[in-house]
């Protein structure tokens, strides 16, 4: 049954902005899908609001819509493009929900669009808890008994709850029906808790109903990735075992593939049930993910849930096995059967098989709790991690060691030099799952805790704990050894020890261990991920290192360029950098080089084995990169290593790599250092006649205080050498400065604190440019919507700039050129400026690809990272202009009347985090970056472009209703005009007393409302927080007073903002943001909202400025 | 973890050095690799592995220990076991003893901590060959000499080693619907289990049974089991098969049984370069188009034409199943007057270890007997 010929155009929906729980993996899956569908001759129409994705590159679809993934927008696109079919199983929950909404509202029927991949019925059966339970319970008997879901009882009184718990046995989970965000649910371990939580739950439920469910907390957790075609052939692609037992979201768990602690009997039972489920749910063509829990002492198996679509785990499973789930899912969705699709890796065998692994894969999550200091770090069933690293080794210990060092968190690898601590305290600490638990488990073992004790405390399977114990024993052996014999060294490496860990145990340096290792010939070999445990020869060079005996690398004909990727996603370094790395790989392959990618992030397109000529799935540490460089140098010429596209991760390695003899192409490590080093950079600015805000550097509070006095408060303080504004704050006085320095763990004599004058009311500008040593090419000039002081990664921005004068633009050009030249850039540079009055200040310059490269590339229809790669390899800008890679005469800064306005808006994860007391974390913006992702709005005018950005970021932009206004004194006079405009647009205004009286003085009618701290009035007059909770407020405008950040103050503003997060009311915290919102609301009110594809914009842009 | 050194030498002189695993000693056999990620207990107790040194491509072996339920026969049959990372600790609620202890108890010599992937690739490229493992000494030349003097798999008749001495009966679960004589060429426990669950009483008979004795049993069907060795040596079993076919009794064969069935129908068998051993092999049923993921363990295969039927004295024979990886014959069916009369598959519908996708073939056997009854 070959491809379907009755459909010719297919709409693919992406997953939108990166949010916690839905990240780059859907760019990977969507990119694969678009690619194979086009190869098969279908017209592909893509909708995805996220510009930082590869899939939204114009060449991946016939029509690419960077429009909000929101039913009304998607309907407009359907009406315009009239696709035959809709494929929504590759864009995460976002795409699935949108497809269901379009079906339910009749849009799909109206336009005759067929949903392919999974039917609406199948989606609902898989997603709805009760329906899914019914499906599981009605499956036929299996060899090892029937399939079960967790037992539960619906209760309407406290007596019924007690009865149910007697039947199910404590502990039980209580879930009140119809409450929002899990309010009132919890675990009851004893009768007292049962009574208390039960009563709260019954109260919280509007229908006085509580579901009492047996607890499967602490059970072993597994996942299967299952794939089915329309001929009903089913294969299980991968099994995954969670190191952390039930209770921790799989996205937050350390996971291992394949399953390590199942006999064949249990595994086959799980497989049988998984296959029966995909059939019963009715996922006809495509993949799904099914989760299971197994009781560690009885083996009783419970089906937990399924995702009737490609998921985060599918991406992991694809990377872990070499079986490209999304690609195959797209193929089977258009009618192919699994046996008709070749296995890419072997080329000679079909995709209708089950991958078998001769290695172990470990995935570890990466968290960002440091960005949300008040958030509760306990891991629960609610996902909190922002990224992940994966590693492959020939055994668990090797993979685990590699995975932990891939996280780039110095606390992640086991630290055997650290004092052990108290056993009982450690055993207590590991009883609660949190980031860093595995390290404390190791500490506990180091105090002499037994495997049984650690198992008792954590519920982790004893096989895994024994593996940790083996690592610990090996560490003891290394420590006790007089010298390091080749055998011992090899054994240590074979079990995942890094040079640094060995060095720590021997009180020496990693460099010396490396030299010793090399002298003794202890080096890794490179194996291949081949889907079949070597049964057939692999044609795809997808490699991982192992301290095993034989290497499988082959010689190359072409010179190679090694691209160092960006590692695990984190706040401040995400998919945007992967985008640039992938572009480098593409352009290098097209230009006579073998592109070699090194990365450890399983979510990304860069770690798709299809992306580069060679892929090394490896940690991005000096040790691992040097080994790859050495191994590849044996295979052919290496033209160089690219470090400036993957963000801070590879950049940090640049100097050490160069010192070790590695050839770095593009901007030299010295130039990179020069831009980072304040003094040297100041001299560059001085020479060019440029100014930066007054600043100084300090190693202690006393020094910092002196600097601050000289500059004048407020000052911006931050540790040097960090990305994403990590640890950055605006402080307004000495006391706050002292608190900041006392609390910072990032400040040391080697990394002093930087103190800058903070520019109030300045416009912030972001510039991306390309420099070849001679000519400057401005990629784009972006103007931030929020004023200076909000981290550039958290600020919305527009391209072209909204308010800059021609003179200012000219000054930006000359300044950028001067800096690029002065620093010695060869490739990309990103510069942030602040315009205060008439003065242009240089805030910082980064000689590397920035977060905004994909946005700029899409806004200007010019692929800057590709051009930059060629510049690094020696091309001039003039040549690239000639080749059509860059605009022939102008550059990205050109503006013309009627040009499209591109707006970048960001996504925040505030709704993911709660404080220990259970309230939301503060959503106020500051100099520390906290957004996880971005969207793009494209329109002919600023207002609509901004509005599209808001809608795309899932902000419920109101076009009428009630707005609540409460602002800091310094902002009061600036809000008069925007508030007046809102009234003209038909809004009713509520304000706190102070704000209301200022507005009244200007003749604006605002109804005063009680602050949270004023409490409910004597006659029941509600506070603003109560009004928000009642859903009576449609828009909140609240600027923080006193410059507090980080959410440490329980002030009125905090209560308002957290209520806004909880009840999902749009909340604006800056005046400039309000002004933009007014324009956006105006644009939406006119109703003249059109959708335009990137290809259409591109043609227009190219015509306007060749 | 053992600290004793061990050595593995292939007949082409390739040497791997590792640590001893299981019993201390010396062992020889045909080196074969098995790619299943689960089911080592079933694999080790599968009589088809007689004379073979099994290399597990999955690196971690022994994680779930050894239990009382998963044996496929009375003992471990492999000649030797090659693994990379043996478990130091077993973890399973069913485990009663560790794999290492079980290997020692049964005197199975193994080796661990070698590059099993490199060894596998070598066998894939150079083909199956003889191997020796020793934890007694480290002299590779001496061991190589012994390897070259050890027997080859081609021409090896191991059936007598594994077959039952006396017939025994496995009772049907529920009402008895059929009786089947199962010729034990190295049968696995799960095969009778699959049949008895379908109301079949299984009488497992020694491979040495005569045709007369077999026919006199007057069973509803005859089953040819899996087993070790070169099918070209199994003339007696081939003769039994021809007698049963001549008597027009329903027949079903598995693995070695498929090869015997093929030879009885006049086809040749040949040795594959490195065999199929794993639990992830896609097989297409050429009649229904259905693809099953199946468990394989075979070094030999039937040489029958894929593109045409063959007329035999017993009826028309077709290749019913093929492996999608390499088009190897994975099943044969015999029809007379358009009706199915007997069939066999090269793989293991009884699984253990492996997926249950092909269990429906036992239903097909039931239907065949039903139709003939």
Q: What is the pLDDT of residues A612-631, one digit of tens each?
A: 999 999 999 999 999 999 99
Q: What are phi and psi of B319, to 5 degrees?
A: -80, 115
Q: Are residues B181 and B138 in the same domain?
A: no
Q: What is the pLDDT of residue B100?
A: 97
Tokens of A363: 């995935």
Q: Which of A770, A759, A915, A733 is nearest to A840 (CA)?
A: A759
B364 touches chain A (CB under 8 A): no
Lowest mean pLDDT among A86-95, A213-222, A495-504, A967-976: A967-976
Count of A–B CB contacts within 8 Å? 167
| Structure tokens, A632 | 């590849």
- Within this chain, do residues B348 and B204 fall inside the same structural domain, yes or no? yes
Report, as an integer, the average pLDDT of B28-40: 97
CATH classification of the domain holding B138: 3.50.30.20
How confident is the model over A995-1037, as pLDDT tens digits?
A: 899 899 988 889 999 988 888 888 889 999 899 988 899 999 9
| pLDDT tens readout for residues B309-339 | 999 999 999 999 999 999 999 999 999 999 9
Cis omega before residue A714 (within 30°)?
yes
Tokens of A412: 């992640």
Which of helix, strand or coil describes residue A1060?
helix
Range of the domain at B130: 5-148
Q: Kindly list the residues from chain A whose CB atom is less than 8 angstroms away from the CB atom of residue B115.
A: 548-550
The two tokens of residue A430 are 């590991």
Q: What DSSP element (H or E) covers A1072?
A: helix A1071-1086
Q: Give residue-wise pLDDT tens across range A220-249.
A: 999 999 999 999 999 999 999 999 999 899
Lowest mean pLDDT among A136-140, A1051-1055, B77-81, B224-228: A1051-1055
Between A143, A359, A470, which is nearest B356 by CB? A143
Show residues of chain B in contact with A395, CB under 8 Å: 59-60, 84-85
pLDDT confidence tier of residue A1045, bands split at 50, 70 and 90? very low
**Of the candidate ranges A163-167, B28-32, B329-333, the one whose mean pLDDT is the lowest:** A163-167
Phi–psi pair at B224, nearest 5 degrees: -105, 120
Same domain for B105 and B169, yes or no, is no
Q: Which has more confidence, A1003 or B296?
A: B296
| Residue B244 distance to chain A (closest CA, Å) | 32
The rounded distance, in Å, linking the Cα atoms of A107 and B90 is 56
ipTM of the complex: 0.97
- Measured in degrees and rounded to the nearest 5, phi and psi for residue B311 equal -85, 130
Query: Under an 8 A CB cutoff, do B121 and A261 touch?
Result: no
> DSSP letter at A610?
T
Q: A324: which residues sit within 8 A by CB, 6+ positions away?
A: A32, A318, A344, A608, A610
Q: What is the pLDDT of residues A672-726, one digit of tens each?
A: 988 888 788 989 999 999 998 888 888 888 888 888 888 888 888 887 766 556 6
Cβ atoms of A918 and A880 closer than 8 Å = no
Whether residue A858 contacts residue A1096, with contact meaning beta carbons closer than 8 Å, is answered with: no
CA distance A492 to chain B (A): 13
Decide if A250 contacts A184 (C-beta within 8 A).
no
Does residue B154 lie within any of the structural domains?
no
User: Per-residue confidence at A1106, pLDDT binned at 50, 70, 90?
Assistant: low
> How would DSSP label each residue in A174-231?
EEETT-GGGTT-EEE-SHHHHHHHHHHHHHHSTT--EEEEE--TTSEEEEEEEEE-TT
Question: Which among B63, B90, B324 has the least Cβ separation from residue A350?
Answer: B324
Set B122, B276, B298, B348: catalytic member: B348
The answer to whether residue B153 sits within a structural domain is no
Q: Among all residues of chain A, which has the CA nearest to that of B290?
A: A233
- Mean pLDDT on A320-342: 95
DSSP classification of residue A1039: P
A537-580 pLDDT, tens digit each: 998 999 999 999 999 999 999 999 999 999 999 988 889 999 99
pLDDT tier for residue A1047 given thresholds of 50, 70 and 90? very low
pLDDT beyond 60 at A307: yes
Q: Is the pLDDT of residue A530 over 90?
A: yes
User: What CA–CA distance (Å, rounded) separates B38 from B31?
Assistant: 20
**pLDDT exceeds cutoff 90 at B357:** yes
Instruction: Verify that B134 and B166 share a domain, yes or no.
Output: no
On whether both B266 and B338 belong to a single domain, the answer is: yes
Residue A777 contacts residue A770 (beta carbons within 8 Å): yes
Taking residues A139-167, report their average pLDDT: 91
Assign A1069 to helix, strand or coil: coil
* Chain B residues with beta carbon closer than 8 angstroms to that of A463: 63, 87, 89-91
Residue B324 domain-assigned?
Answer: yes
| Other CB atoms within 10 Å distance of the CB of residue A516 | 19
Interface touch B282/A260, C-beta < 8 Å: no
Task: State whether B174 and B267 are in the same domain.
Answer: yes
Give chain B positions within 8 Å (CB) of A357. 37, 58
Residue B366 belongs to domain with CATH number: 3.40.50.880
Burial of B27 (0-12, 13-18, 19+ CB in 10 A): buried
Cα four-point dihedral sign A49, A51, A54, A57: positive
First to last CA, chain B: 58
C-beta separation of B65 from B92 below 8 A: yes
Tell me which of A801 and A1106 has the higher pLDDT: A801
A219: nearest Cα among A150, A273, A144, A165: A150
B348 is catalytic: yes
In a domain, B299, yes or no: yes
- Rounded (5°) CA angle A280-A286-A291: 60
Q: Is residue B225 domain-resident?
A: yes
Taking residue A614's Cβ as centre, other Cβ atoms within 10 Å add up to: 24
Tell me the C-alpha distance between A477 and A474, whole Å.
5
B54 shares a domain with B165:
no
Active site residue B101: no
B105 touches chain A (CB under 8 A): no
Q: Is A526:B118 a contact under the CB 8 Å cutoff?
A: no
User: Can you tell me the distance from the alpha carbon of A15 to that of A95, in angstroms, rounded to the nearest whole number?
Assistant: 6
Both B278 and B212 in a single domain? yes
Please say if the pLDDT value at position B31 is more than 90: yes
Give the nearest partner residue to B124 out of A299, A359, A535, using CB atoms: A535
Determine what percent of chain B falls in helix, strand and coil, rounding each to the nearest 5.
Answer: 25, 35, 40
Does B300 map to a domain? Answer: yes
pLDDT of residue B208: 96
pLDDT on residue A1? 63
- pLDDT tens, position by position, A439-470: 999 999 999 999 999 999 999 999 999 999 99
Strand partners, A149: A303
Name the nearest CA neighbour of A472 among A423, A405, A415, A426.
A415
Q: Averaged over B17-22, what is the pLDDT?
A: 97
Residues 6+ away with beta carbon under 8 Å from A402 = A362, A391, A392, A393, A496, A545, A600, A618, A619, A624
Could you tell me which of B104, B87, B346 has the C-alpha nearest to residue A461?
A: B87
Q: Is B360 on the interface with A (CB under 8 A)?
A: no
Neighbours of A963 (CB within 10 A): 27
Closest CA to A261 of B41, B67, B65: B65
pTM of the model: 0.94
Instruction: At A45, list the tokens.
Output: 């129409």
- Per-residue pLDDT for A62 more than 90? yes
| Contact call for A231 and B88, based on CB within 8 A | no
How distant is the Cα of A598 from the closest Cα of chain B, in angstroms? 23
Residue of B35, B42, B67 lying closest to A535 (CB–CB): B35
Q: Rounded distance, CA A750 to CA B164, Å?
A: 77
Query: For helices A853-860 and A575-590, what crossing angle results, to 10°?
Result: 60
Strands B315-323 and B310-312: antiparallel
Instruction: Provide the number of structural domains found in chain B.
Output: 2
DSSP run (H or E) holding A470: helix A462-480
The answer on pLDDT for B46 being more than 80 is yes
Residue A925 pLDDT more than 80? no
Q: Does B3 touch chain A (CB under 8 A)?
A: no
Same domain? B126 vs B166: no
- How many C-alpha atoms does A333 have within 13 Å on its Cβ side? 32
Q: Average of pLDDT values for A803-820?
A: 96
Interval A74-100 mean pLDDT:
95
Distances (CA, A) of A858 to A603, A795, A855, A940: 22, 18, 5, 15
CA distance A1017 to A209: 32
Which listed residue (B122, B255, B298, B330) is catalytic?
B255
pLDDT of residue A1046: 38
Same domain, B137 and B12: yes
Same domain, B233 and B127: no
What is the structure's pLDDT at A406?
A: 98
3 state SS of A267: helix
Identify whether the C-beta of residue A33 lies closer than 8 Å to the C-beta of residue A326.
yes
Which of B148, B168, B188 is where one domain is finished? B148
The question of whether B313 is a catalytic residue gets the answer no
Q: Is B306 exposed, middle or buried (0-12, 13-18, 19+ CB in 10 A)?
A: exposed
Residues constituting chain A: 1106
Domain boundary among the residues B114, B148, B182 is at B148
Question: How sure is the predictor about A1043, in pLDDT bands with cuts at 50, 70 and 90?
Answer: very low
B123, part of any domain = yes
Among the candidates B148, B181, B204, a domain finishes at B148
User: B48 and B16: one domain?
Assistant: yes
- Nearest CA to A908 out of A941, A879, A931, A876 is that of A931
* B273 in any annotated domain: yes
Q: What is the pLDDT of residue A970?
A: 78
Tokens describing residue A806:
């021609």
Report chain A residues whose CB lies below 8 A from the CB of B356: 143, 268, 271-272
């Amino acid at each position: 049954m070959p491809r379907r010929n009755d459909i010719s155009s297919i709409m693919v929906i992406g997953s939108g902005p990166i949010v916690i729980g839905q990240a780059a993996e859907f760019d990977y899956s969507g990119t694969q899908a678009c690619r194979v569908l086009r190869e098969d001759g279908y017209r592909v129409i893509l909708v995805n609001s996220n510009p930082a994705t590869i899939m939204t590159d114009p060449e991946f679809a016939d029509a690419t819509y960077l429009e909000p993934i929101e039913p009304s927008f998607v309907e407009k696109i359907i009406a315009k493009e009239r696709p035959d079919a809709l494929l929504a199983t590759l864009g995460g929950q976002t795409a699935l929900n949108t497809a269901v909404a379009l079906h339910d509202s009749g849009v799909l029927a109206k336009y005759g669009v067929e949903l392919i991949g999974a039917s609406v019925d199948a989606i609902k059966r898989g997603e709805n808890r009760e329906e899914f339970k019914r499906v599981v319970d009605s499956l036929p008997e299996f060899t090892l008994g029937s399939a079960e879901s967790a037992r539960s009882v619906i209760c309407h009184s406290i007596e019924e709850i007690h009865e149910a718990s007697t039947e199910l046995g404590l502990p039980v989970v209580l879930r009140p029906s119809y409450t929002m965000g899990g309010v009132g649910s919890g675990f009851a371990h004893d009768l007292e808790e049962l009574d208390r939580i039960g009563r709260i739950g019954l109260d919280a439920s509007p229908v006085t109903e509580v579901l009492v469910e047996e607890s499967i907390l602490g059970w072993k957790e597994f996942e299967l990735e299952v794939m089915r075609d329309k001929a009903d052939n089913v294969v299980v692609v991968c099994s995954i075992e969670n190191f952390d037992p039930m209770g921790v979201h799989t996205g937050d768990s350390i996971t291992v593939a394949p399953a390590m602690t199942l006999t064949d009997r249990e595994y086959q039972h799980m497989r049988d049930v998984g296959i029966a489920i995909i059939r019963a749910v009715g996922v006809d063509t495509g993949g799904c993910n099914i989760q299971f829990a197994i009781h560690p002492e009885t083996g009783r198996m419970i089906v937990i849930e399924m995702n009737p679509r490609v998921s985060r785990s599918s991406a992991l499973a694809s990377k872990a096995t070499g079986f490209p789930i999304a690609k195959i899912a797209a193929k089977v969705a258009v009618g192919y059967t699994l046996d008709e699709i070749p296995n890419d890796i072997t080329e000679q065998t079909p995709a209708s098989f089950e991958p078998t692994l001769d290695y172990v894969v470990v995935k570890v999550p990466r968290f960002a709790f440091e960005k949300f200091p008040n958030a509760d770090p306990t891991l629960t069933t609610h996902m909190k991690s922002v990224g992940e690293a994966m590693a492959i080794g020939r055994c668990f210990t090797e993979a685990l060691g590699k995975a932990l060092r891939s996280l780039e968190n110095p606390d992640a690898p086991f630290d055997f030099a650290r004092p052990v601590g108290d056993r009982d305290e450690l055993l207590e600490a590991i009883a609660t799952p949190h980031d860093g638990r595995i390290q404390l488990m190791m500490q506990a073992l180091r105090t002499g805790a037994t495997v049984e004790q650690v198992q008792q405390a954590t519920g982790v399977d004893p096989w895994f704990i024994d593996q940790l114990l083996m690592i610990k024993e090996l560490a003891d052996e290394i420590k006790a050894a007089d010298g390091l014999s080749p055998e011992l060294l090899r054994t240590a490496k074979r079990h995942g020890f890094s040079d640094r860990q060995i060095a720590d145990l021997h009180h020496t340096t990693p460099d010396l261990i490396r030299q010793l290792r090399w002298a003794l010939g202890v080096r890794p070999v490179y194996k291949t991920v081949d889907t079949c445990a070597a049964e057939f020869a692999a044609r795809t060079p997808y490699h991982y290192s192992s301290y095993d005996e034989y290497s499988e690398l082959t010689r190359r004909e072409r010179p190679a360029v090694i691209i160092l990727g960006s590692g695990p996603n984190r706040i401040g370094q995400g998919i945007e950098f992967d985008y640039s790395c992938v572009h480098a790989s593409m352009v290098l392959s097209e230009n006579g080089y073998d592109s070699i990618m090194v990365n450890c992030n399983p979510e990304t397109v860069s770690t798709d084995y299809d992306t580069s000529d060679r892929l090394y799935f490896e940690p991005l540490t000096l040790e691992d990169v040097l080994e790859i460089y050495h191994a590849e140098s044996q295979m052919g010429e290496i033209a160089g290593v690219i470090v400036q596209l993957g963000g801070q991760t590879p950049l940090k390695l640049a100097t050490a790599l160069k010192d070790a003899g590695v050839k770095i192409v593009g901007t030299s490590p010295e130039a990179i250092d020069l831009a980072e080093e304040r003094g040297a950079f100041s001299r560059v600015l001085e020479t060019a006649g440029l100014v930066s805000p007054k600043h100084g550097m300090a190693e202690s509070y006393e020094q910092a205080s002196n600097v601050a006095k000289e500059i004048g408060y407020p000052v911006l303080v931050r540790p040097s050498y960090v990305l994403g504004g990590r640890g950055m704050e605006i402080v307004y006085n000495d006391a706050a400065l002292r608190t900041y320095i006392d609390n910072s763990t990032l400040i040391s004599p080697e990394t002093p604190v930087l103190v800058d004058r903070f520019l109030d009311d300045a416009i912030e500008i972001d510039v991306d440019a390309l420099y070849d040593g001679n000519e400057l090419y401005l990629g784009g000039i972006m103007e931030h919507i929020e004023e200076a002081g909000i981290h550039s990664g958290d600020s919305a921005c527009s391209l072209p700039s909204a308010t800059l004068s021609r003179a200012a633009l000219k000054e930006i050009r000359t300044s950028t050129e001067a800096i690029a030249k002065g620093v010695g850039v060869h490739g990309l540079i990103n510069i942030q400026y602040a315009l205060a009055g008439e003065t242009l200040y240089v805030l910082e310059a980064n000689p590397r690809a920035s977060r905004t490269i994909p946005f700029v590339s899409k806004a200007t229809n010019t692929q800057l990272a590709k051009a930059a790669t060629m510049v690094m390899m020696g091309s001039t800008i003039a040549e690239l202009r000639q080749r059509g890679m860059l605009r022939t005469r102008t550059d990205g800064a050109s503006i013309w009347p009627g040009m499209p306005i591109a707006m970048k808006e960001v996504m925040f994860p505030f709704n993911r985090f709660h404080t220990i007391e259970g309230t939301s974390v503060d959503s106020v913006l500051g100099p520390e970056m906290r957004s996880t992702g971005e969207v793009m709005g494209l329109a002919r005018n600023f207002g609509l472009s901004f509005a599209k950005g808001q809608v795309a970021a899932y902000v419920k932009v109101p076009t009428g209703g009630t707005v609540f206004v409460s602002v800091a004194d310094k902002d009061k006079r600036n809000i008069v005009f925007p508030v007046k405009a809102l009234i003209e647009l038909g809004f009713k205004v509520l304000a706190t007393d102070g704000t209301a009286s200022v507005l009244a003085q200007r003749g604006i009618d605002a109804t005063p409302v009680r602050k949270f701290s004023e409490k409910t009035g004597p006659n029941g007059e509600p506070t603003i927080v109560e009004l928000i909770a009642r859903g009576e407020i449609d828009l909140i405008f609240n600027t923080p007073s006193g410059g507090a950040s980080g959410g440490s103050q329980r002030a009125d503003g905090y209560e308002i903002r957290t209520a806004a997060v909880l009840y999902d009311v749009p909340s604006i915290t800056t005046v400039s943001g309000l002004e933009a919102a007014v324009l956006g609301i105006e644009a939406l009110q006119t109703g003249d909202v059109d959708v335009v594809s990137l290809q259409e914009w591109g043609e227009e842009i190219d015509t306007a400025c060749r | 973890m053992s600290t004793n050194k061990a050595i593995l030498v292939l007949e082409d002189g390739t040497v791997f050095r590792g640590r001893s695993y299981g019993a201390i000693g010396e062992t020889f056999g045909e080196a074969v690799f098995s790619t299943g990620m689960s089911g080592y207990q079933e694999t080790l107790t599968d009589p088809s592995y007689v004379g073979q040194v099994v290399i597990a491509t999955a690196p971690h072996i022994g994680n779930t220990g050894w239990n009382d339920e998963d044996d496929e026969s009375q003992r471990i049959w492999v000649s030797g076991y090659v693994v990379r990372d043996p478990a130091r600790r077993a973890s399973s609620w069913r485990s009663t003893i560790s794999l290492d202890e079980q290997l020692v108890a049964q005197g199975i010599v193994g080796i661990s901590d070698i590059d099993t992937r490199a060894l596998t690739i070598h066998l894939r490229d150079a083909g199956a060959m003889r191997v020796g493992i020793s934890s007694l000494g480290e002299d590779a030349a001496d061991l190589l000499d012994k390897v070259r003097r050890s027997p080859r798999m081609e021409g090896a008749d191991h059936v007598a080693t594994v077959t039952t001495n006396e017939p025994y009966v496995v009772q049907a679960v529920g009402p008895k619907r059929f009786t089947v004589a199962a010729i034990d060429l190295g049968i696995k426990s799960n095969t009778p289990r699959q049949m008895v669950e379908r109301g079949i009483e299984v009488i497992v008979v020694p491979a040495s049974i005569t045709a007369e004795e077999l026919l006199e049993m007057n069973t509803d069907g005859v089953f040819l089991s899996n087993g070790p060795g070169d099918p070209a040596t199994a003339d007696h079993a081939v003769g039994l098969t021809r007698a049963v076919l001549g008597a027009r009794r329903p027949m079903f064969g598995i693995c070695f049984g498929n090869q015997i069935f093929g030879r009885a129908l006049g086809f040749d068998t040949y040795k594959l370069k490195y065999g199929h051993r794993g639990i992830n092999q896609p097989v297409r049923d050429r009649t229904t188009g259905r693809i099953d993921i199946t468990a394989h363990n075979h070094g030999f295969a039937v040489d029958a034409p894929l593109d045409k039927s063959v007329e035999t004295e017993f009826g028309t024979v077709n290749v019913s199943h093929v492996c999608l990886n390499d088009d190897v014959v994975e099943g044969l069916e015999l029809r007379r007057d358009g009706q199915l009369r007997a069939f066999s598959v090269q793989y293991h519908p009884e699984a253990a270890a492996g997926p249950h996708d092909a269990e429906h073939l036992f239903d097909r056997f039931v239907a065949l007997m039903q139709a003939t009854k």
